[in-house]
Amino acid sequence: MKVLAINGSPHANGNTACALEAAAEALHAEGIETEILHIGHKLIHGCTACEQCHTLGKCVFDNDPVNEAAEKMAQADGILLASPVYYAGIAGTMKSFLDRVFYTRGSSFRHKVGASIAVVRRSGGTATLQGLNWYLSIGEMILPTGQYWAVVHGRKPGEARLDLEGMQTMRTLGKNMAWTLKLVEAGKETLPGPKPEEKEIMSFIR
């Protein structure tokens, strides 16, 4: 089994990477392969709501990592999202990435295991974590947790490792994610998942 971890920080070796690495080490110890994909430093266009992806099966903008990453996410058994906190929310590049990935390929993630991590200097961690989890929940994903909210504190690169409770939470999240992945895999043969219904889309403008 494999987890694809998305680093939404512009800094490949910053505190967001530290948090992801701690969770990835716990996953690896449980026999789960993990790949960390760094997208936070890329130029990623925001969604324009053109809806051409409904016809194309992928985003119309094909000059950035979104379509390639979406395909890798669709092939993975689990997805781990991590973002630094900017103005009490998801970093802009990560937000643009997630908007387009989940709009074009969200149904591909149904019943996969997904988890989120927020990395913050001071405030806005739980708000950012909640924002990341909105994507996982609308994708009908299964969300494991740690023993505390998955928020790690640090400012200068490497300071996250000094947040001992945060690092413990990352390890616990990794272990719980591995266990959930194994449960899902073991249950596929004995208990098939519910069949999806065709979505009802409503506008409340009368």
Question: What pLDDT does 193 receive?
Answer: 87
Residue 119, beta-bridge partner list = 84, 152
Question: What pLDDT does 189 receive?
Answer: 85
Nearest CA-CA partner of 82 in 47, 44, 131: 131
Question: What pLDDT does 203 receive?
Answer: 86
Can you tell me the distance from the alpha carbon of 57 to that of 65, in angstroms, rounded to the nearest whole number?
A: 16
One DSSP character per residue, 144-156 reads: ---SS-SEEE-SS
Can you tell me the distance from the alpha carbon of 186 to that of 157, in angstroms, rounded to the nearest whole number?
A: 39
Average pLDDT over residues 111-139: 98
Question: What pLDDT does 205 receive?
Answer: 76
Question: What pLDDT does 206 receive?
Answer: 66
